[in-house]
Chains A and B, each alone.
Chain A
Amino acid sequence: MGEVIVVTSGKGGVGKTTTAANIGTGLAAQGKKVVLLDTDIGLRNLDVVLGLENRIVYDIVDIAHGHCKLKQGMIKDKRFDDLYLIPAAQTKEKTAVNEEQMRAICNELKQEFDYIIIDCPAGIEQGFKNAIAGADRAFVVTNPEVSAVRDADRIIGLLEANSLNNPQLIINRVRPNMVKQGDMMSVEDILEILAVKLLGVIPDDDNIVISTNRGEPVVLDEQARAGKAYRNIVRRIMGEEVPLLNLDEEEGFFSKLMKVFKK
């Protein structure tokens, strides 16, 4: 029996889709059977982050309404045999799927997959309620900014009100230099305010933009710091104890050399 994990945030633009794509791909790279579910109907993006936008035939609304079989609606990943995507519909409303249908889809997927990763839309309306309906576990993505942390707090409250207790926090786009200067809240500051369990910290990394441009999740990039951070999160999801990535870590000789050449 698989586990359904929903990736939420409340605020938009904090890195939910990127996080869902990287966690899903990372789990598949570890040999797990994974399906990624994009529930952001009308604003689908998980397909482009994964580089699968040209393969879409059916979407989650087609599956929910029985226009196609579940198997037909799943797009196989380019890189991993056991990684699939169910895309969101682009031209429908958030209400095109309801909570009952979401629960049914999740229950069916659980029979076959180890992990079902749901990319939740921003906001707290019907799209959010649909996304969390069939979930067993929730991750909350935030940034070290006032607005993102405030919305994370609201989402944590709503998750708990819907019996998704003990959501785990992913702090994205941390800039160690700004934290050191006292101009950005640290991981400890945010944990003190939100009082939830931390799943991982992702440093702000240009490689995220580059990998998204290419449609290749950064978790597969052995050199990128953000890739390492996502790989650590994947191992923690699988139950391993992995210490937090040291964000202050000196840059390697090679990357320093590259910087000199780039100048």
Chain B
Amino acid sequence: MANFLQKLLGMEKNSKDMAKDRLKLVLIQDRANMSPNMLEDLRKDLIMVISKYMDFDEKNLDVQMAEQDNMTMLEVNIPIANVKRNIN
């Protein structure tokens, strides 16, 4: 009953929607052949490259795969603290 009320009030998602969301995410990784380990490696490499040019907090660098309009996208969000001076 409590479960039903929660659903009615929109507090809890239908379990099938959860299944669908989880499937979509897991299939993006399956299809792109990108394991969480590979994503983590990519994140580390990005940190190395970008830190040559900008200052940012590594903890805030967020890398993930997402799906938009039937396209798989690589999303990288990096809040920048400071852009380094042009040395040349």
- Report A's interface with B, CB cutoff 8 A: 145-146, 149-150, 153-154, 157, 179, 181-186, 189, 193
Contact = CB atoms under 8 A, between A and B. Distances in A.
Interface SS majority for chain B: helix
A150 B23 contact: yes
Contacts of B17: 182
Contact of A150 (B7, B15, B16, B30): B30
Identify the interface centre among B7, B23, B26, B31: most chain A CB within 10 Å of its CB: B23
Given A150-B26, A182-B14, A157 B20 contact: no
B27 A153 contact: yes
Interface of B: 7, 14-17, 19-20, 22-24, 26-27, 30-31
Contacts of A182: 7, 14-17
Nearest to A189: B20
A201 to B, nearest CB: 16
Given A157-B31, A182-B7, A146 B16 contact: no
Contacts of A186: 16
A193 B27 CA distance: 9
B27 A150 contact: yes
